[in-house]
Amino acid sequence: MQDTVSADRVTHSDLANAVRVLAMDAVEQAKSGHPGLPMGAADVATVLFTKFLKYDATDPTWPDRDRFILSAGHGSMLLYSLLHLTGVKGVTIDELKNFRKLDSKTPGHPENFMTPGVETTTGPLGQGIATAVGFALAERMLNAEYGDDLVDHHTYVLASDGDLMEGISHEAIALAGHLKLNRMIVLWDDNGISIDGPLTLSDSVDQVKRFQACGWNAVRIDGHDPKAIQRAIARAQKSDKPTLIACKTTIGYGAPKKAGTSKAHGEPLGAEELAGAKTALGWSHTPFEIPDNIRDAWAKAGKKGRRLRKAWADRLKALPADKRAEFERRATGVRPQGLADAIAKLKDRLVAEPQNVATRKASEIALEVITEAVPELVLGSADLTPSNNTKTKNLNAISPGNYAGRYIHYGIREHGMAAAMNGIALHGGYVPAGATFLVFTDYARPAMRIAALAGIPAIYVMTHDSIGLGEDGPTHQPVEHLAALRSMPKMRVFRPADAIETAEAWQLALERTDGPSTLALTRQNLPQVRRDGGIANLSATGAYELSPANGKARATIFASGSEVEIALAAQKLLDEQSFAVRVVSVPSLDLFLAQPEKVRARIIGDAPIKVAVEAAVRFGWDSVIGPDGIFVGMHGFGASAPYKDLYKHFGITPEAVAEKVLRTHNL
């Protein structure tokens, strides 16, 4: 009987089978889930967790732990079983029994904000492996700052066929290979099966060759042979490149009929098959029962890193107090004291010397100050650095093997960039800000959505934010993107009107620690409309009265970004006709809509006519102007022409605004 065996005689198979049966039982109880991957990958995961992974289950957020990322999030029960067996607090057997139930710590796919020990939310295939690149990069960058004593760990990924088929995987592995992120080790669950059936239905890529071509080591092993797994990981740890270990496995390992077929992928095994699997695995215990000796052996594995963690904590303690405090501040994501003051000073300077510049340039001006005040801010661009204005003079770019820098040339990889940014932020120690054109948020959006869902404070610097970019034409002119981003829960979208609002937007984005922010910035120059500096951040309510009416307001014009200038000019035109109008600047429509009703009512005011001006689609503005409000903006895609001609062509002009207001008034 296995449960009479003493802890030190527990075998690898006992340990791996414990993972398998917990996954099988939990999926069976939930009546849904994916047993195949945990059953197939249990050997690989068991070797990793018991022999290599540097972690201490009693402190799953220890900064120098190895990271384990289950990229194939559908196999979540693999991770929950491991967290439970190693003794992560909160991941109890009852949580496993409540797999996929409301409010459990065991949701269908892993969520880092739900479950201790889960490093990142995964589920959309490809995201995990791409996020892991950010983890591995942040580790090297922090290592370059703080040295081996404080930062010296690996990033392990368990990826499935689907992860490697997704396009994002290519952006991710190309970047990791180029940067020589040798602390990144991908264990590929090479089972040749996906949902529709054998992979041969749709794929014939030689993944080993693909990874090698991207600058990786890549080897093939038997993923059920613990010795082979151990040898491969040990070798990978010594490599100067990232490593792919293609682990040949059988999906649903142990299941008599379903093993090796897509039937094991995503549904409970069923009573008969489950019983057959347990028999085949030599497992004779009741559901969710783990014999004490196996439980003890797993618990021992969970404590394996305790000594290392304590030694690390001692080294941290031995640091000079200021260095230690700074490391702890950054590791815990607390923003530096000086940020608000630095922004206030910058605003005062802008009041003294107004800057009529594009907001992308205003962003660069702000970054000159912010990068000094916020040493953890890491900038980058997907090959549009000179257009995005993200590289300030004081930033050095990292390069392969040299990670002492705060600028990342992500290459033309918007999706990979956004996912890597998630990893950089989740790793800790850094706030990532990455840039491209606003229209290409479509390419980055799946990772931006993960950031929003998982509460990751990444910052997207999205320039060329409207038809105002001009000649590049409609492929490059976003029209629906502001609305699309504003509709994403927990995403904050800023579209500042001038240099001062841009500084305020940066401050609000950086002060936010529970979710991502997008800064939509112009290509074209704008006048500085604000003349007030100081500590108060007027953009913090999302909207504010920028220019009061000359008398009792008969209309309010709401505008964002480059159209604030148009709103002010329209106000002047109407004023000349003794028609009093106020202008409300709306640097963040979504932030404004999140304000308490009283605040919104005060800012919206009671002028009978409401107008919104934004060079984008109307979607979302009705919440401010109502369905009968006047909207001056885009009603379709843009066109290729100098931007001033486009504004005239699409009727987004002060004259058009004034004319519509008067026409409505005279109805």
Ligand X SMILES: Cc1ncc(C[n+]2csc(CCOP(=O)(O)OP(=O)(O)O)c2C)c(N)n1
Annotated binding-site residue numbers for Mg(2+): 161, 191, 193
Please identify the residue of the shown chain whose CB is closest to the bound ligand X. 162
Under rule CB under 6 A, which residues in 6-35 are in contact with ligand X? 34
Binding mask 75-104 for ligand X (x = CB under 6 A): x-----------------------------
Q: Which of 37, 77, 362, 625 binds ligand X (CB under 6 A)?
A: 37
Segment near ligand X (CB under 6 A); pick from 119-127, 548-556, 612-620, 646-654: 119-127
How far apart (Å, rounded) are the C-alpha atoms in residues 37 and 329?
Answer: 38
Tokens of 373: 């005040």
Q: Counting every residue, how long is the chain? A: 667
**CA–CA distance, 28 with 19 (Å, rounded to integer):** 14
Question: Which of the stretches 155-163, 179-187, 235-243, 494-502 binds ligand X when contact is defined by CB under 6 A?
Answer: 155-163
Question: Of the candidates 171, 181, 178, which has an alpha carbon nearest to the alpha carbon of residue 140?
Answer: 181
Q: How far is the CB of 200 from ligand X (least distance, A)?
A: 12
Q: How far is the CB of 567 from ligand X (least distance, A)?
A: 41
253 vs 631, beta carbon nearer ligand X = 253
Q: Answer yes or no whether residue 160 interacts with ligand X by CB under 6 A.
A: yes
Question: With binding defined as CB under 6 A, does residue 491 bind ligand X?
Answer: no
For residue 579, give the H/E element and its range: none
Q: Which amino acid is at 205?
A: V
Q: Which range in 117-125, 300-308, 366-374, 503-511 contacts ligand X by CB under 6 A?
A: 117-125
Q: Which of 123, 268, 291, 302 binds ligand X (CB under 6 A)?
A: 123
Taking CB under 6 A as the rule, does residue 121 contact ligand X?
no
Q: Which of 20, 65, 74, 415 binds ligand X (CB under 6 A)?
A: 74
- Contact window for ligand X (CB under 6 A) among 70-78, 135-143, 144-152, 509-517: 70-78
Stretch that binds ligand X, among 161-169, 210-218, 304-312, 606-614 (CB under 6 A): 161-169
Q: How far is the CB of 165 from ligand X (least distance, A)?
A: 7
Stretch that binds ligand X, among 120-128, 310-318, 319-327, 500-508 (CB under 6 A): 120-128
Residue 125 interacting with ligand X (CB under 6 A): yes
From the list 492, 470, 472, the residue with the least C-alpha distance to 482 is 492
Q: Which lies closer to ligand X via its Cβ, residue 28 or residue 189? A: 189
* Residue 1 token pair: 């009987």
At residue 592, what is the residue type?
A: F
Task: Give the residue ranges of the annotated binding site for substrate.
Answer: 34, 265, 360, 387, 464, 472, 476, 523
Task: List residues forming the annotated binding site for thiamine diphosphate.
Answer: 74, 123-125, 162, 191, 265, 440
By CB under 6 A, the count of residues binding ligand X is 20
Closest to 557 measured CA to CA, from 567, 566, 543, 565:
567
CB 450 within 8 A of CB 121: yes
In the block, which residue shows the tokens 């592995």? 173
Cα–Cα distance, 659 to 305 (Å, whole number): 71
> Restricting to residues 204-263, which ones interact with ligand X according to CB under 6 A?
251
Least Å from the CB of residue 161 to ligand X? 3
Instruction: Select 277 or 520, whichever has its Cβ closest to ligand X.
Output: 277
Instruction: Calculate Rg over the CA atoms of the chain.
Output: 28
Q: Segment 182-201, which members bind ligand X (CB under 6 A)?
A: 189, 191, 193-195
The two structure tokens encoding residue 341:
């003051």
Nearer to ligand X, 202 or 237 (CB): 202
Residue spans of alpha helices (H) in 147-183? 161-165, 167-178
H helices present in 433-516, as ranges: 441-454, 481-486, 499-511
Tell which residue, 591, 646, 579, has the closest CA to residue 616.
Answer: 646
Q: Quickly count helices (H) and strands (E) in the chain.
A: 26, 18
Q: Which one of residues 65, 84, 140, 265 is an interface residue with ligand X (CB under 6 A)? A: 265
Least distance to ligand X from the beta carbon of 473, Å? Answer: 30
Cβ at position 160, least distance to ligand X in Å:
3
Work out how close the CB of 352 gets to ligand X at its nearest, in angstroms, rounded to a whole number: 51
Q: Which residues are tagged catalytic?
A: 414
124 binds ligand X (CB under 6 A): yes
CA 213 to chain centre: 27
Nearest distance from C-beta of residue 220 to ligand X, angstroms = 16
Comparison of 145 and 189: residue with beta carbon closer to ligand X = 189
Give dist(CA 35, CA 276) in Å, integer. 14
- Give the annotated binding-site residues: 34, 74, 123-125, 161-162, 191, 193, 265, 360, 387, 440, 464, 472, 476, 523
Kindly state the smallest distance separating residue 125's Cβ from ligand X, in Å.
Answer: 4
- Cβ-based nearer residue to ligand X, 488 or 526: 488
Other C-beta atoms within 10 Å of 578: how many? 9
Least Å distance, CB 192 to ligand X, is 8
Q: Does 72 bind ligand X (CB under 6 A)?
A: yes
Nearest to 105, CA basis, from 90, 119, 120: 90
Closer residue to ligand X (CB): 39 or 369? 39
Count of other CB atoms within 10 angstroms of residue 322? 8
Cα torsion 81, 86, 88, 92: sign: positive
The Cβ of residue 627 has, within 10 Å, a number of other Cβ atoms equal to 5
Secondary structure letter of residue 467 according to DSSP: G
Cα dihedral 76, 79, 82, 85, rounded to 10, equals -50
Tell me the sheet residues that pair with 156: 68, 185
Nearest Cα residue to 483 out of 604, 615, 362: 615
Contact 156, 148 (CB under 8 A): no
Residue 159 CA to residue 75 CA, distance in Å, equals 10
Give CA–CA dist 335/428, Å, rounded.
12
Taking each helix axis as running N to C, give the angle between helix 441-454 and helix 127-146, from 0 to 180 degrees, rounded to the nearest 10.
80
| Nearer Cβ to ligand X (199/493) | 199
Is there binding between residue 168 and ligand X (CB under 6 A)? no
Which tokens is 441 given? 């948020």
Q: Which stretch binds ligand X (CB under 6 A): 67-75, 306-314, 554-562, 655-663?
A: 67-75
Q: Does 36 bind ligand X (CB under 6 A)?
A: yes
Residues interacting with ligand X, by CB under 6 A? 34, 36-37, 72, 74-75, 123-125, 160-162, 166, 189, 191, 193-195, 251, 265
